[in-house]
Amino acid sequence: MSHRTYVLGAVFATALCAPLLLHVPASARVVESATIHEEYSFTVEDWCGVEGLDVLVAGTHDVKYTAVPQGNDGLVHFRGRDVVDETHTANGVTTRFLLNSPSRDLKVTDNGNGTLTIVVLATGNATLYGPSGNVIARDPGQLRFRFDVDHGGTPTDPSDDEEIEGSFEVIKGSTGRSDDFCAAEVALFT
């Protein structure tokens, strides 16, 4: 799997995301594709900045993505979908976080210095459910961000790309409704 298979962690209320599979024209030559399933469980200390609030996070992260060259320069663009389903448990209370997020590279630019700048559109629905199954927070908007990769001397081959630390930048924050997931959970957990 390419290092350009990036994770959007913390973008949607500390959830994980990655690029995945949408429609790819039949004429496009797929250079990379994958389906990934991860299961995880860990404890986050000081959840949402609340000292002493430790939360057990357990869930799954499913990713499907495809990468195809586009344009005259043949630079590879990723398209995909992330699905995160996790529980958050603290002080005997459990919430459920669901994320269904398609994403795609809008623009890939060769900077001429061994790096690429990638602009990504991530959309979808993030929903937080309370202990009784009712929705307590939502973020159905879309987000645009960019980051840089060192292309390893092969701008049209993503297999050796390495994300440049510190280059991640949100260009346009989530549009539409953007509830405060931390406020909704902290009220239940404390």
Mean pLDDT, residues 131-139: 96
Burial class (CB in 10 A: 0-12, 13-18, 19+), 88: buried
Q: What is the mean pLDDT of residues 24-52?
A: 87
* Residue 184, phi then psi, degrees to nearest 5: -65, -40
- The mean pLDDT of 6-14, rounded to a whole number, is 35
Distance CA 56, CA 24 (A): 38
Residue 89 reports pLDDT greater than 60: yes
> For residue 152, is pLDDT > 80?
yes
pLDDT (mean) for 100-104: 95
Residue 186's contacts (CB-CB under 8 Å, 6 or more residues apart) are: 47, 48, 50, 53
Backbone angles phi, psi at 10, to 5 degrees: 75, -10
Token output for 121: 């559109």
DSSP state of 183: H
Give percent of the chain above pLDDT 70. 85
The pLDDT of residue 4 is above 70: no
- pLDDT at position 9 is 36
**How far is the C-alpha of 95 from the C-alpha of 103, rounded, in Å?**
25
| Residue 12 DSSP one-character state | S
| Mean pLDDT across 142-162 | 94
pLDDT > 90? residue 141: no
In degrees rounded to 5, what are phi and psi of residue 84? Answer: -115, 135
Three-class DSSP category at 49:
helix
Two tokens at 7?
A: 């994770």
Could you tell me the end-to-end alpha-carbon distance of the chain, in angstroms, rounded to an integer?
40
Give this prediction's pTM: 0.76
Residue type, 184: A
- Which is more confident, 175 or 52? 52
Average pLDDT, the chain: 86
Q: Are 45 and 19 contacting, i.e. CB atoms less than 8 angstroms apart?
A: no
